Copies of this chain bind each other. A is one copy, B any other.
Amino acid sequence: MISELGEFGLISRFRRPIKTDSSVIKGSGDDCAVIKFDRKGYLLFTCDMITQGVDFLPGDDPYLIGKKAVNISISDIAACGGKPRYCLIALGLPKKAALTYIDRLAKGFFEACGKYKINIAGGDVSSADKLTIDVSMLGVVKKKDLVLRGGAKPGDIIFVTGSLGGSIRGKHLKFGPRLKEAQFLAENFKPTAMIDISDGLTQDLGHIMEESRAGAVIYEELIPLSAQARNLSEALYMGEDFELLFTLSPQEAKRLALKRLSVYKPIGQIMNKGYGLKIIERSGKEKPVKPRGFRHF
């Protein structure tokens, strides 16, 4: 059974035999696939499937579900430093869905795409027992603006946007993807690594650590808790914040700090791989942390 492997065991089982040609700059293992495009830029290609009962509940507003489905993929494109341009929406719809329900769902798709000038280029509709939505999205990124998970170096400063935790109590359906903030960073700073926090802070920091072959230290007192978060654990281990987690060299971090933009908050530093992941508690005590967060299996 899948539970023996866990979600990431499962993913690596799928990833192992995959071979790609030289036009694939980065395949599976980042927020988007990165594909050669033209002299100046790359294509970004990503998809996210959400299902009733896992990512939203039967009683949730379909307008918000539609927006979420699109915004998740926008967040992935943003985390690579790119601009979303085109999407396809594959929809598995229960036969007894009401037309008013479908219209509100569509309104969510249209508004989220319209806000960021994303072309809905097509889609697919089929019947399903439970509402299932897979949005696949194409974006573009200038070569010089591309940010992946694998470039963080010991000494780099770790930042997050916004605040973390308690997303399950509302924000997961209402977040705005950090597209503007990510583009500002990609164009004006040189983030060494970036990811959107979909699985939870420690798990997504773990992805940066793994791809960058590095360790990390974070400071409890620096972690910005959202108003919905009940405690630190929710900020560390709960998913769907959809904030950006990124790293800057000390020089770039200083330059960002001088801008006094409250949305970007330093929370720690990249360390050597052997250090692992540790949190410095308010008392000053250093505590090892195992990266974990939301897992499907």
Q: Could you list which residues of chain A lie within 8 angstroms of chain B, going by C-beta atoms?
A: 1-5, 7, 10-11, 13-14, 17-18, 20-21, 23-24, 27-30, 32-33, 35, 38, 43, 45-51, 53-55, 85-86, 88, 90-93, 95-99, 102-103, 106, 110, 117, 119-130, 132, 134, 136, 138, 296-297
Contacts and interface: CB of A to CB of B under 8 A. Distances in A.
Nearest to A53: B129
Minimum-distance CB pairs A-B, first 3 = A33-B121, A136-B136, A134-B134
A131 B229 CA distance: 34
Contact of A18 (B2, B3, B120, B130): B120
Given A47-B90, A128-B132, 9 more contacts: A11-B125, A14-B125, A18-B120, A27-B120, A28-B121, A33-B86, A35-B121, A49-B92, A128-B130
A120 B149 CA distance: 19
Contacts of A27: 119-122
Contact of A45 (B14, B90, B138): B138
Nearest to A296: B127
Contacts of A13: 102-103, 106
Contacts of A88: 33, 45-47, 136
Given A14-B106, A38-B38, A51-B128, A99 B28 contact: no
The secondary structure that dominates the A interface is mixed
21 contacts: A3-B95, A10-B93, A10-B102, A13-B102, A13-B106, A18-B120, A20-B121, A27-B122, A33-B121, A43-B138, A45-B136, A47-B122, A48-B90, A49-B126, A49-B134, A51-B128, A51-B132, A55-B126, A92-B132, A132-B132, A138-B138
Contacts of A17: 106, 110
A161 B230 CA distance: 62
A92 B10 CA distance: 12
A198 to B, nearest CB: 10
Given A10-B102, A127-B297, A86 B132 contact: no
Contact of A49 (B11, B45, B120, B124): B124
B97 A1 contact: yes
B1 A90 contact: no
B122 A45 contact: yes
